[in-house]
Structures are given as C-alpha cells and as structure tokens.
Amino acid sequence: MCSYRIVHLCDRKLLSDRWGDESSGGARRKYYCLTELGVKTLTDVQEYRQQLAKS
C-alpha cells in the first residue's frame, strides 16, 4: 500500500499508527491498526461488495 494512501486513511480516522520500540534491535517500525470507525467502514464495504456480487 502506498504510504500516501496510509496517511490519507489516518487523516480520515480509519487507521491509527504507533512506533514500535527498539528493544528487538534494528530500526524502529511503525505499526498501523484499524480504529473502531475503520472496522465499521471495512465491514460496510465488505457487505456492499457481497450485495454487488449477488446482483
């Protein structure tokens, strides 16, 4: 996924991000997680796609 797309999803409050710790060695990693709104939006889109597939 393009990093600009991820930023856009964060701006729309569908994703949240956080930095991991450096205790495992190597560079810090950024982790993304769906917000409650993101989960609801994903569920709605999946239901819509299923309805389209039936028609």
pLDDT digits (tens, 9 = 90+) for 21-55: 877 778 888 888 999 999 999 999 999 999 999 98
Helix, strand, coil % (nearest 5) of the chain?
A: 50, 20, 30
Mark 21-37 as b/e (b = at least 16 C-beta within 10 Å): eeeeeeeeeeeeeeeee
Predicted confidence band of residue 1 (pLDDT cuts 50, 70, 90): low
Q: Give all domains of the chain, ordered by start, each with its CATH number.
A: 3-54 (1.10.10.10)
Q: Which residue has the higher pLDDT, 47 or 17?
A: 47
Nearest to 17 by CA among 25, 2, 29: 29
What is the pLDDT, as a whole number, of residue 43?
95
The encoded tokens of residue 15 equal: 């994703």
Rounded CA separation 17/33 (Å): 6
